[in-house]
Structure 1
Amino acid sequence: MKRYKWLIISIAIILIVAIWFWKFRSKAAPVLVETEKPTYGFIANAITATGTIQPVDTVSVGTQVSGTIKYIYADFNTTVKKDQLVAELDKSLLQAQVDQYKANLSAARDQLAYQQSNFARQTQLFQVGAISKADFETAQFQFNSAKANVAAIQAQLASATQNLAYTNIYSPIDGVVLSRNVNIGQTVAASFNTPTLFIIAKDLTKMQVQASVDEADIGNVEKGQRVTFTVDAFPDDVFNGTVQEVRLQPSTSANVVTYVTIIDAPNNDLRLKPGMTANITIYTKEVKNAMLVSAKALKFKPDSALLKDYIIVGRGDTSHARKEPGFYRSKRPDTLKTATDTSKRLTSPDEAAHPASVWLKHGDTIIRRRILTGMNDETNVQVVHGLDTSDIIVNDARQVTKKEKAAAAKSPFMPSRPRRGGR
C-alpha cells in the first residue's frame, strides 16, 4: 500500500510539471513575413536647387544728356508701347544752344555768299592781269574757309538738335515698367555713365529662373530637361519649366562652387513675379510606366529564423535555386541578351542595367531570383528584367512582439474593459 502511495505521488508530480511546462513555458515568437508585388509607375533621378525668377528680356532706359526731369509719363507697372514717350528733360538750355547755332549758321552763310562773290570777281581780274596771283590766292582761301565754316556750324547745329531730341525719353520696346528710378525735378548727369531712369520688362508671360546648381550635381544637368518648381507665394502649386542653358562661369561662396542654370518658365497667368524665390527640382533622368519594386526588397536577405516555417532555396548555394521553375538563370547567354535588350527598351541610352537579386515567396518556399535593375531613387527601384506583376516578393521578415500578437488576437467586436475610475 505504501509503495502505491509513492507511485501515485510521483505520477502526480510528473503531471503537474508537464502541465506547467505545457502552459507556462515561453513560446518562440512567430515570424512575420512582409511581401509586395511589382507595380508600374513613374521613377526619376532628380536634383534640387534654389533660384530667382526673372523676366527673359529687360531693358534699362537711360538718358544720353544731362538735365532736370521735367515730366514723367510712366510709373511702376505701367504698360508701355515701343516709341512711347515716358519722360522729358528740361529743354531750355539745349533749345538756346540750338538757336545760337542757327544764328551762327545764318551768319556763316552770309559770309560764304560774300566770299563766293569776291572770289568770282578776283578770278576775272586775275585772268586779265589786273591783280597779282597772291591776291587771287587770298580770295580763294577766304572762299574755301567760308565754306568750311558753314559745314562746321551745320555739324554743331545737328549735334545740338540731336541733344535736344534726347530730352524726350522713349520706350525702346513693348513691355511693362518694373522700376522707376527718378522723380520730377531730379537732376540726372550723363557725364561718365548713362543714368538708369526706367527698367522695362519685354514680356512677363515668358519668365526664366536663374538657378544655382552645386558642382556635384551640374554634371547631370543638360539642356531640355524637365523642371518643376514651387514659390512661397503659391506653396500648393507646382510650376513647370525646361532647362535652357548651363552657364560655364562658376560662382564661389563659402567654398561652395555653383553654376548658373537658366530655366524657361511660362507665365501665361502672370502669377510668377520678378524676384520670387523658386525651389527647383531638375529631373536628370526619368522613366514613365516602369516596373518598380521597393528598394528594401533588394536589401532583404533571409536568416535562420525563417527556417522553422519556410524552405529557403538559393541562400549561399544557387544550385538548388536553378532547379526551381521560373528562376532567372543570369549566366545563360541567351537570357542575358534578352535582359540587356529589354533594358535598352525601358531605359534611356545612357542608363545601364545592374544585376541584383530578390526573394520570391511560393507557399512555404522562399526562392532567390536574379534580376536586372535600372534607375534607383532610394525608395523604389526599376526592374528591367526578371519579374512580372504576379510575383510575390519578400521585403522584410521580423518576429512578432507580444504586444502585436495580443492586438491581433483581440477581437475588434469585444468591448474594452473600462479603466478604474472611468464611467
Structure 2
Amino acid sequence: MKLLWQKILKQKKLFVIAILVVAAIAGGGYYYQNKNKAATVPQQTIEAEVRDLTSVVAATGTIKAVNSVDISSKITAHIKEIKVKENEQVTAGQELVILEDTALQAQVTQAKERLDNAAIKYQRTSRLTSIGGTSTEALDNASMDYKIAQANYDEVMSKLDDTIIVSPMAGSVIGKPLSAGELVAQGVNNPTVILTVADMSKMQIEANIDQTDIGKIALGQKVTFTVDAYPGKEFSGMVTTISRKATVSGNVTYYPVTIDVTNAENLLNPGMVARVSVIVSESQGVLPLPLSAIRSDKTGKYVVVAGPNGQTQNVPVKTGNTGDDRVEIISGLSAGDKVVVAQVKAQSQAQTGNQQGSRQGGGARPMF
C-alpha cells in the first residue's frame, strides 16, 4: 500500500511539472509574438518637399494715426456752434467751431473808439507842435497814447478772430465733439480739447518686442497683422523705427518698434489692438521640416529617414532659418525622403502593448 501511494505521488509531480513547462512555452511564445509586433509598429513619417519658409517675430501693438491734432481754443469762452460731426471729413482751413463773441464785440467797439480818439489827439498835437503851439513832450505823449490804443485794439481783434476755429489739416473728426454751450478754457499745458482731427490714410502701430527678439528686427522689414474687428483679414506694414529705450512690464523687458501701415480701405481705427508678425527672414524653394523631426546627439543634428522596407537610418543634417514650427534643412536631405517625426511615440505605444500582453499571458496560466 505504501509503495502504491509513492507511485501516485511521483506521477502527480510529473504532471505538475508538465503543466508548468507547457505554460512557460505558451507565455514565451506570446511574448515573442508581441515583441515582433512591437518591432514592426508603423512610424509616422512625412515626405520632405520643397516649399517656402518664413520666420517671424510675434508681438502686439496699438494702432494710432500718424498725423492727428487736438482742437482747442486760444481763449476762454463758451461754445456757440459746433459745425462738424463725428467721422465727418474736413479740409484744411474749414470752420469747425464758433465761440460766443458778444462780450468781445463790445470790447472791439470800445477799443475802436479809444483808437479813433487817440488818432485825432495825435494829429491835433502834431499840428500844434509844428507851429510852436505846444511842446514836443506833448507830441510824444500823444504818440504813446495812440500806440497803446492801437495795441489794445489789435489784441481785442485777435481774440475776436480766435472765436472762429478752423482745421489746421485735412482729415476726419475722431470721436464726438463737445456740445454748444460748454465752457472751454485756454491754456498751454492743459487746454480743453473740443474735438480731434486725424489723417486716417496713414496709420502706425506701436508694438513692444521682447528683448530676446529685438536683435532680429531691422528697419524696412515687412509686417503682417490682424485685428479683432476683421477676423481672417490680414493687413500689411513696414518697420520704420526701433527704439533703444527699453520698457519693463511684468519683469519682461521690451523695446518699442514703430510700424507704418496704409489704411487705403479705411478699416483701421486708432486704438485698435494689432497682432503683429514681423517677417525677419524668407527662404524660397527650401526643404523645411517640423522641429519635432530634428534630433541631436554629441555629434550634431540628424534626422531619422525611413527606407522602402521600413528600415530606418540616422542621417546627419545642417539646419538654417527657423520658421514658426519648421526649420530649413540646408544639407543632408533630399526632396522625397521620408522622415520619421513620431518614432518615440510609436515605440511608447509598442511598449505599452507588450506590458499588457505580458499581464494577459500571466493571467492565462491557471487555465491549463
The reply to whether TM is greater than 0.5 is yes
Say whether 1:185 aligns with 2:185: no
In structure 2, distance between residues paired with 1:270 and 1:358: 49
Residue equivalent to 1:383: 329
CA contact 1:300–1:396 (8 Å) conserved in 2: no
Matches within 5 A, 1:9-408: 21=26, 25-26=30-31, 27=33, 28=35, 29-32=38-41, 33-122=43-132, 139-190=135-186, 193=189, 194-202=191-199, 204-299=200-295, 356-362=301-307, 366-377=312-323, 379-397=325-343, 398-399=346-347, 401=350
Q: Decide whether aligned partners of structure 1 residues 109 and 374 sit closer, same or farther in structure 2, where only a CA change above 3 A counts.
A: same
Give aligned-pair identity as a percent. Answer: 27
Kindly provide the amino acid, as one letter, of the partner of residue 39 in structure 1: E
In structure 2, distance between residues paired with 1:113 and 1:196: 46
Question: Displacement of 1:156 after TM fit?
Answer: 1.9
Question: Displacement of 1:48 after TM fit?
Answer: 2.0
In structure 1, distance between residues paired with 2:173 and 2:63: 17
In structure 2, distance between residues paired with 1:72 and 1:207: 27
Question: Displacement of 1:368 after TM fit?
Answer: 4.0
Task: Give the match's secondary structure for 1:249.
Answer: coil
CA contact 2:49–2:336 (8 Å) conserved in 1: no
Kindly provide the amino acid, as one letter, of the partner of residue 289 in structure 1: G
Q: Decide whether aligned partners of structure 1 residues 121 and 42 sit closer, same or farther in structure 2, where only a CA change above 3 A counts.
A: same
Residue equivalent to 1:6: none
Task: Give the match's secondary structure for 1:65.
Answer: coil
CA contact 1:68–1:187 (8 Å) conserved in 2: yes
In structure 2, distance between residues paired with 1:143 and 1:119: 7
When normalised by structure 2's length, the TM-score is 0.78
Q: Which moved more, 1:251-260 or 1:47-56?
A: 251-260
Q: Which moved more, 1:291-300 or 1:358-367?
A: 358-367
CA contact 2:56–2:324 (8 Å) conserved in 1: no
Task: Give the match's secondary structure for 1:290.
Answer: strand
Question: Displacement of 1:111 after TM fit?
Answer: 0.9
In structure 2, distance between residues paired with 1:150 and 1:57: 44
In structure 2, distance between residues paired with 1:249 and 1:269: 33
Kindly provide the amino acid, as one letter, of the partner of residue 166 in structure 1: D
Give unmatched runs, 5+ long, in structure 1: 1-9, 123-135, 302-315, 319-354, 406-423
CA contact 2:72–2:186 (8 Å) conserved in 1: no
Q: Decide whether aligned partners of structure 1 residues 86 and 373 sit closer, same or farther in structure 2, where only a CA change above 3 A counts.
A: same
Kindly provide the amino acid, as one letter, of the partner of residue 142 in structure 1: A
Question: Displacement of 1:23 after TM fit?
Answer: 10
CA contact 2:85–2:177 (8 Å) conserved in 1: no
Q: 1 or 2 for the larger relative contact order (CA 8 Å, sep ≥6)?
A: 2
Kindly provide the amino acid, as one letter, of the partner of residue 211 in structure 1: A
In structure 2, distance between residues paired with 1:51 and 1:236: 18
Kindly provide the amino acid, as one letter, of the partner of residue 197 in structure 2: I
When normalised by structure 1's length, the TM-score is 0.69
Question: Displacement of 1:215 after TM fit?
Answer: 2.6
Give unmatched runs, 5+ long, in structure 2: 1-14, 355-368
Q: Decide whether aligned partners of structure 1 residues 111 and 47 sit closer, same or farther in structure 2, where only a CA change above 3 A counts.
A: same
Kindly provide the amino acid, as one letter, of the partner of residue 331 in structure 2: H
Question: Displacement of 1:181 after TM fit?
Answer: 4.3
Task: Give the match's secondary structure for 2:103.
Answer: helix
Task: Give the match's secondary structure for 1:236.
Answer: coil
Deviations 1:3-55 (A, max 9, x none): xxxxxxx9xx89x959x649953211333344433212232332222211211
Question: Displacement of 1:104 after TM fit?
Answer: 0.9
